[in-house]
Amino acid sequence: MLRRLLTPFLIALSALALVGAAPATAAPAERSAPPRQTVLHYDADQAAEYASAVAEAAAVWNSSVSNVHLEPASAGQHAEIRIVADDGWPRAQLGPVRPGGQVTVWMGREGTAEGYDAVRIAAHELGHSLGLPDAKPGPCSSLMSGSTGGVNCTNPYPDASERARVEAHYGTGPTGRRPTDGRLLIDRG
């Protein structure tokens, strides 16, 4: 008899516990402040055979810096970085591009035709979008050394100083408010 009375009570109690528990687990995620990170969208619709190299290069940047994040633009969405494959030399407009602005990267086929690595080229050109100038001549360990890192260099990762510069371009200090340069930088092999 007691058991028959208790059972519905216990069911009701555990239901209440479940109701009570749900918001408690969801709340911390909602309460925590969103990360202060600039999100830039890139449009690789015209990147042709370089689309996967561009996606790899964006992932390299996303794993290398935290103040800025590159995401593929969805259909109809404004892209801050437009990527176009053509038959010239790889080249790009110097950033740092800001949300709502736009710079273009040209994945010129001359670079890969000369034997340079497509992912390193894409990461280098995206480096220009994020405001890094060329650092030529330089070693393979430097991303912005570009072709001077050697034709066999496949390193797509920015070095510590390159990472620090990009963090500053999208940081809270004065460099974080630097306007987009827009200059065209041509990467002849």
Q: Return residues touching Zn ion (CB under 5 A).
A: 134, 146, 185, 187
Calpha distance 158→146 (Å, rounded): 11
Is residue 143 within 8 Å of residue 57, measured between CB atoms?
A: no
Nearer to Zn ion, 177 or 188 (CB): 188
* Shortest Å, Cβ 104 to Zn ion: 14
* Shortest Å, Cβ 120 to Zn ion: 11
What Rg, from alpha-carbon coordinates, does the chain have? 24
Calpha distance 58→52 (Å, rounded): 10
Calpha distance 69→58 (Å, rounded): 8
In the set 49, 56, 80, 125, the catalytic residue is 125
Calpha distance 47→34 (Å, rounded): 32
Nearer to Zn ion, 111 or 146 (CB): 146
Nearer to Zn ion, 60 or 185 (CB): 185
Catalytic, 56? Answer no
Catalytic residues: 125
